[in-house]
Structure 1
Amino acid sequence: MQNSSSLASSATVAVVLSTLVAVSGSSVFGSAVGYSSPAQSGIMDDLGLSLAEYSVFGSILTIGAMLGAVMSGKLADFMGRRVTMGFSEIFCIIGWLAIVLSKSAWWLDIGRLSLGYGIGLLSYVVPVYIAEITPKNLRGAFTTVNQLMICCGVSVMYVVGIVITWRNLALIGIIPCLLQFLGLFFIPESPRWLAKIGRWVDCEAALQCLRGKSANISEEAAEIRDYTETLQRLSEARIVDLFQQQYAHSLIVGVGLMVLQQFGGVNGIAYYASSIFISAGFSGSIGTIAMVVVKVPMTMLGVVLMDISGRRPLLMVSAAGTCLAGFLVGLSFLLQDHQIWKEFTPIMALVGVLVFSGSFSLGMGGIPWVIMSEIFPINMKSLAGSLVTVVNWLGSWIISYAFNFLMNWSSKGTFFIFGSICGLTVLFVAKLVPETKGRTLEEIQASMNPFSAKR
């Protein structure tokens, strides 16, 4: 089955179009995350916000995203993948409009919370939908386009935010929301979700649409049907079921990758980047553009390599790069403290930040989301996916909140900790993360959760 031609399909127009519509949601995610940095001075000046009030505006997005993430799996199972994406975009559009029209901090926060809820849903449902519609030989690359579009959304906000006002920047944020909302009317539902709810005729019609009119889908359809019927014999999944031994490997890998991704310090580096660039003698805006110039091509390289080299090698190279970069930035702070090589330390910090951004974009940014969408069986996917997504957003909030306190405690110590966690990630991947390249979702899930297919 591994090498069967009927399962290793080419990218049809329907798969490409469906993926592009889905990842419009990823650029909404990126726009929301990237908005607060370029808008900060304009909003604080126009609305007279204190730094504390603006910090609430920046961080409330994560609270909304955690709420969205908690509900994401159940909603995607109840309403379907397409309807959930449309539902989330309504909250995103309301959020952006509230920010555009806001006259006070209160309206800003309401808008940001609504936007956070929308992207919390999207952060789960987009990679899951793409993984469920794409052929196994293309799944990794297509699912990683999710991360590429997040990166592009952040980059557009950073670059465009230099030249336009914060209200106009929020209006630009609405564009990808509308693109996805309208595009959802023209793409098929996930065949695996249709199979899960027993709509076999619709499942085969969606699969035929995705694989092409002349494609032979019998083998893939039979595998989806067999696996779904096996899982339907099991009782309805509850949250306690997640912690049974049979799902332990999947849960450790899914949650572990998200914890290591966030506690490796990506948000700390992102938030502190502009001040590191300023200390290196560059303007904040030039430094920001330098990060964009590094991040976007490295994310694109990750997309290209995903189904060639596989997930594990890319993850290990990416984590090793972030480990090296964390120690490089930590070393620059250590040398600064001791007044050694004063002319070189800012350049070391700059290089460290750019190497971190590039390495993270290559694999650690996107691959945990790819693996999350692949490893959980469909009966556990909503609960497990929600848990993993909540863990990611919680980690993001903890690091964002704690970063300034950590830097006050010890700048060098903070980055040495981040570097050490990135080093641990290499060992974690080598020991526990399976290679999922070129295998169907059913094969991956049966191998990782051996009892779920037998019981």
Structure 2
Amino acid sequence: MDSKRIIESSSSSSSSPLLFRGNAESQSQQYDSSDDVASNDEQHKQKITSSSSSSSIPPPTLTFTTLVAVFGSYVFGTAIGYSSPTQARIMIDLNLTVAQFSIFGSILTIGAMIGAIVSGTIADYAGRRLAMGFSQLFCISGWLAITIAKDAWWLYIGRLLVGCGIGLLSYVVPVYIAEITPKNLRGGFTAVHQLMICCGMSLTYLIGAFVNWRILAIIGIVPCLVQLLSVPFIPDSPRWLAKMGRLKESDSSLQRLRGKNADVYKEANEIRDYTEALQQQTEANIIGLFQLQYLKSLTVGLGLMILQQFGGINGIVFYANSIFISAGLSESIGTIAMVAVKIPMTTLGVFLMDKSGRRPLLLLSAVGTCLGCFLAALSFFLQDIHKWKEVSPILALVGVLVYVGSYSLGMGAIPWVIMSEIFPINVKGSAGSLVTLVNWLCSWIISYAFNFLMTWSSTGTFFGFAAICGFTVLFVAKLVPETKGRTLEEIQVSLNSNSMKK
């Protein structure tokens, strides 16, 4: 493939032009001498290789930029967690029926699907940074509508607007973080997206136990404002800028993200050369994604999102209280135990992401979710046959905690990390929109169907989830590539080469 030849030549050629001009004075001393360009360039590339591969301490600008981005993830978590602690009070205050509140809860995923459809287009044409700011306008408007709601319709409108905002955020945040971070830090930094979702959800549960639902909605505006007011101070994605032909701005952005004294020569040229190769190809719409060259990336991206949701996560998390009650447990004990497991395991996944690799962590997580669902199914089976009644509630609690802990370790974050890595820049917008839309659609299906499935058979429901989680192990082992330690450009070369061989 042409892009492979271009990348290899850019790393070995001594005549590649230096794109970056941000530190003109310091860099001119290295490159202005025409007599010994060859020897200096060789030393320069060795310096780049050693400095980029050995440095594991993130520069302050990169850390700050990632922190601003994941405030959007925190907003995502607050939106998901809002309905659980507020249900009883909202139904009393606004005289809502169970059906009306169910609409209020589920309409979030409808809004998220709408946001997902346009997420790629907005992020591609306006930029990742502006897309995050734009999404917060939806979220702020939605929270305000919920705050002043006097009837169900205002609640629906507010929840729908918040859903549109988080549908956009669920795509743009992991993609932006993946595009700005170096390969040795990318996995862990991108996984912080899931960690902040977890923190937002858990803190909303906690705060919602003590404050009125209107005040909780106002509190939800705070992280929205933090990100909205902070995005003007962070750089845009160097890869997006290069795609738009703004090469000097791409180099300047890359220098800010890597630190003013960092050498970005090799990385800047690699981004430019690969972008130039992709510009020879046309931008693909969603229909155009179904071509042989994108087949593996699309299969991996869609497959992970479908299996993530059909493994039962939203049904188990959204209706955990009813699961614990059905199993004969106290709902408060179960909920507290879930929060106590979820945050530490998500944090552990962040630290392991760039050490163990994506595939081993994903395999371990899928095996754990399979085991958790099997234990929960066994608990309900024992109830059905009236055996070991003293043991079955504990077995259900252990099963749910094993499932939630294992999911938080890998299945929650890694599909989003891999989604942000495997698609080339010329199709990332349309592919990201499709993958995010499918994720939210599957989320709605499971959220809507879970109570009906539990009414049909609690044992059958969890055995079904266990089977899907077991299939996930096979899917990951056979199809999911390891992306640890590779630049985004190297990942594209590997995927496209494999596709062409087949």
TM-score computed with the length of structure 1 as normaliser: 0.97
Mapping of 1:410-421 within 5 angstroms? 410-421=457-468
1:139 to 171, 186, 202: 186
Asked if the contact 2:238–2:251 (Cα under 8 Å) also holds between the matched residues in 1, the reply is: yes
1:6 positional shift: 4.8
Partner in structure 2 of residue 4 of structure 1 = 49
1:336 to 380, 383, 394: 383
What are the Cα deviations for residues 236-279 of structure 1, in whole angstroms up to 9, with x where unaligned?
32222210011111000000000000000001111221123334
Corresponding position: 1:402 with 2:452: no
Partner in structure 2 of residue 278 of structure 1 = 325
Partner secondary structure for residue 86 of structure 2: helix
Partner in structure 2 of residue 94 of structure 1 = 141
Provide the rounded CA distance (Å) in 2 between the counterparts of 1:175 and 1:240: 39
Provide the rounded CA distance (Å) in 2 between the counterparts of 1:452 and 1:221: 27
Paired AA for residue 317 in structure 2: A
Corresponding position: 1:63 with 2:110: yes
Partner in structure 1 of residue 23 of structure 2 = none
Corresponding position: 1:254 with 2:254: no
1:204 positional shift: 0.2
Mapping of 1:340-351 within 5 angstroms? 340-351=387-398
1:168 positional shift: 1.1
Partner secondary structure for residue 481 of structure 2: coil
Partner in structure 1 of residue 237 of structure 2 = 190
Provide the rounded CA distance (Å) in 2 between the counterparts of 1:176 and 1:7: 33
1:284 positional shift: 2.5
Provide the rounded CA distance (Å) in 1 between the counterparts of 2:223 and 2:439: 23
Partner secondary structure for residue 319 of structure 2: helix
1:170 positional shift: 1.0
Provide the rounded CA distance (Å) in 1 between the counterparts of 2:390 and 2:299: 44
What are the Cα deviations for residues 344-377 of structure 1, in whole angstroms up to 9, with x where unaligned?
1111111111111100000000000000000000
Paired AA for residue 174 in structure 2: P
Corresponding position: 1:24 with 2:64: no
Higher-Rg structure is 2
The unaligned stretches of length 5 or more in structure 2 are 1-10, 12-45
Mapping of 1:414-429 within 5 angstroms? 414-429=461-476
Partner secondary structure for residue 449 of structure 2: helix
Provide the rounded CA distance (Å) in 2 between the counterparts of 1:121 and 1:453: 33
Identity over aligned pairs, percent: 69
1:375 to 410, 422, 434: 422
Mapping of 1:211-360 within 5 angstroms? 211-279=258-326, 282-360=329-407
Partner secondary structure for residue 188 of structure 1: coil
Q: Tell me how large the CA RMSD over aligned residues is.
A: 1.6
The unaligned stretches of length 5 or more in structure 1 are none
1:451 positional shift: 8.9
1:160 positional shift: 1.2
Corresponding position: 1:40 with 2:87: yes
Partner in structure 2 of residue 125 of structure 1 = 172
Provide the rounded CA distance (Å) in 2 between the counterparts of 1:446 and 1:453: 10
Asked if the contact 1:231–1:453 (Cα under 8 Å) also holds between the matched residues in 2, the reply is: no
Asked if the contact 2:73–2:173 (Cα under 8 Å) also holds between the matched residues in 1, the reply is: yes
Provide the rounded CA distance (Å) in 2 between the counterparts of 1:407 and 1:169: 31
Provide the rounded CA distance (Å) in 2 between the counterparts of 1:282 and 1:336: 13
Deviates more, 1:76-85 or 1:2-11: 2-11
Paired AA for residue 341 in structure 1: W
TM-score computed with the length of structure 2 as normaliser: 0.88
Partner in structure 2 of residue 76 of structure 1 = 123
Asked if the contact 1:158–1:288 (Cα under 8 Å) also holds between the matched residues in 2, the reply is: no
1:362 to 409, 413, 417: 409
1:128 positional shift: 0.3
Asked if the contact 2:112–2:440 (Cα under 8 Å) also holds between the matched residues in 1, the reply is: yes
1:201 positional shift: 0.4
Partner secondary structure for residue 449 of structure 1: helix
Corresponding position: 1:391 with 2:445: no
Asked if the contact 1:446–1:453 (Cα under 8 Å) also holds between the matched residues in 2, the reply is: no
Paired AA for residue 370 in structure 2: C
Provide the rounded CA distance (Å) in 2 between the counterparts of 1:97 and 1:5: 51
Paired AA for residue 91 in structure 1: F
Provide the rounded CA distance (Å) in 1 between the counterparts of 2:458 and 2:326: 13
Asked if the contact 2:329–2:393 (Cα under 8 Å) also holds between the matched residues in 1, the reply is: no
Paired AA for residue 489 in structure 2: E
Partner secondary structure for residue 296 of structure 1: helix
Provide the rounded CA distance (Å) in 2 between the counterparts of 1:417 and 1:184: 43
Asked if the contact 1:33–1:154 (Cα under 8 Å) also holds between the matched residues in 2, the reply is: yes
1:172 positional shift: 1.3
Asked if the contact 1:6–1:219 (Cα under 8 Å) also holds between the matched residues in 2, the reply is: no
Asked if the contact 2:295–2:499 (Cα under 8 Å) also holds between the matched residues in 1, the reply is: no
